[in-house]
Structure 1
Amino acid sequence: MTPDEATEANRHAWNTQRFGAWLSAFGSPEEEARRIVAEPRQVLRRLLPYLGDVAGKRICNVQGSHGRVAVALAHLGAEVLVVDFAEDNRRFALDLAAYAGVAIDYALCDILNANKLGRNHQFHVLVLELGILHYHQDLDRFFRVMRELAADGGVLLLNEFHPIQRKLYWPEGPHHYFEAGLVEADVPNPDHGGESLGRCLYRFWTLGEIVTGAVNAGFRVARLDEYPDWEDPTIPGTFTMLAET
């Protein structure tokens, strides 16, 4: 399967029953907006230690999905663009922003085509949180797009599932750290006891491949922190990479 075919398959999966899934997970956009406005720093708890004051910064929330991160950032004074390819995600995010009393931009777009948005080299910060890289089969191309979006002097902040957790311990993972093929698994469903919302194609990367991809694109890695798994603290669960232009 070509990368474009995989993207189209994933796009279809992410546009299936997604709005209803977010309603099941968070309640109505109005209810969730109240929670975000009350505690925006809780929503951003994995990001703010690296970002500091976001007021006045132009931020691109890459594959920003339901918009909770974007709305929390906007509530703290950032100018935020979400780039994502699922219409139901955009619908939920824009409703969420309206009820929170903030404005966000939301581009319905495959992130690899973000150069068509006319926003290259405009963003002080690129924010990527949990479940981004495994949708891409060409990591070098992905990070080149990130570098094109980032302003000179900007940063890329990636908070992502750790390759060890995804490759070796995730039930649907390849269970082989160096496996380079595609894995078909359920699209994420926030209702963990609910029915499958469809199947996605994933490509899991090693930590070395991720860092090298960022460096090859022109980023300088300033920090790389690893954190324990939420259920098994003896293994890494997530990592955060801060990279500068």
Structure 2
Amino acid sequence: MTIDASDATTETNRNAWNAQRFGAWLSAFGSPDAEARKIVAEPTYVLRRLLPYLGEVSGKRICSVQGSHGRVAVALANLGAEVLVIDFAEENRRFALELAACAGVVIDYALCDVLKANELGRNHQFDILVLELGILHYHQDLDRFFLVMRELAVDGGTLLLNEFHPIQRKLYWPEGPHHYFEAALIEADVPNPVDGGERLGRCMYRFWTLGEIVTAAVNAGFRVARLDEHPDWENPTIPGSFTMLAEA
């Protein structure tokens, strides 16, 4: 059997994300119970980069794409949304479900490669797709990724992407390519949420230009309604992230 290169990369990244990840979240946030109390007390803080674009979320069906530790999903559920997380790491799922239970909310969590989300039987069910920080660089085929997103969204639904800015990732990130138009895969550390923490494995990344991202979304059938660029947290003279609001 021939293994597709992108599938092999996904498996490499999946293994890296499962290596000591639950312990890393405990080191970063404390116990699920402790973090849940913070979220319940102030869910809007967790969602501070998202809510200005979303408005009222109560009663909305929301998919948290590659939702990782589940903090965004739990905060949305606390505000009354019905939330499904799609993510491929069991260690992430474990933390997220414990977090939700401690917060007194229910979230669904599908352990799945997001590119195979059509196998979940949830196509055209979501009012809102939420993608926050560190999503796109795990994908080698951006056209396919956004087509999957379009299949998940209801007609007239919303895609909200809050992502690292390509300039920050490509030119200023220490492990980045330092070349804006570099298209090759790069091997780098999987993120550790604890500054100075131990290495948790290596992932394969593909960094995209802003033009490639917007074009792939439009080609998949989304209409971009808003695109905002935000200053870098450490170097405000450069863009550090961006937010794209698009309609299905």
TM-score, structure 1 as length reference = 0.99
> Secondary structure of the residue that 1:224 maps to in structure 2?
strand
The equivalences for 1:98-177 within 5 A come to 98-177=101-180
Matches of 2:215 and 2:195 in 1, distance apart? 34
- Match status 1:81 vs 2:84: yes
Please name the residue that 2:232 is paired with.
229
Superposed, 1:145-224 pairs within 5 Å as: 145-224=148-227
**Counterpart residue type for residue 10 of structure 1:** N
What amino acid does structure 2 have at the position aligned with 1:89? Answer: N
Partners of 2:81 and 2:191 in 1: CA distance? 28
Q: What amino acid is aligned across from residue 142 of structure 2 in structure 1?
A: L
Unaligned runs of 5+ in 2: none
Partner of 1:22: 25
More moved, 1-10 vs 157-166: 1-10
Counterpart residue identity of residue 244, structure 1: E
1:72 maps to which of 70, 75, 96: 75
CA distance in 1, matches of 2:100, 2:93: 10
Residues 56-94 of structure 1 deviation map (CA, whole Å, 9 limit, x = unaligned): 000000000000000000000000000000001000000
SS in 1 for 2:11: helix
3-state SS of 1:240 partner: strand
Work out the number of aligned pairs and report it: 245
Structure 1 residue 195: Cα displacement: 1.1
SS at match of 1:143: helix
Which of 3, 12, 16 aligns to 1:13? It is 16
RMSD: 0.6
Question: Which secondary structure state, in structure 1, belongs to the residue aligned with residue 204 of structure 2?
Answer: strand
Q: Which amino acid in structure 2 is aligned with residue 170 of structure 1?
A: W
SS in 2 for 1:195: coil
CA offsets, 1:73-131, max 9 Å, x none?
00000000000000010000000000000000000000000000000000000000000
Structure 1, unaligned runs of 5 or more:
none
- Tell me how far apart the structure 2 counterparts of residues 107 and 185 of structure 1 sit (CA, whole Å): 26
SS of alignment partner, residue 106 of structure 2: coil
Q: Does 1:50 align with 2:53?
A: yes
Taking the aligned partners of 1:112 and 1:55, their CA distance within structure 2 comes to: 27
Task: Give, in whole Å, the separation in 1 of the partners of 2:67 and 2:78.
Answer: 16
How far did 1:32 drift?
Answer: 0.1
| 1:3 aligned residue | 6
Q: Secondary structure at the match of 2:197?
A: coil
> Match of 1:33?
36
1:127-177, CA deviations, whole angstroms, 9 ceiling, x for partnerless residues?
000000000000000000000000011010000000000000000000000
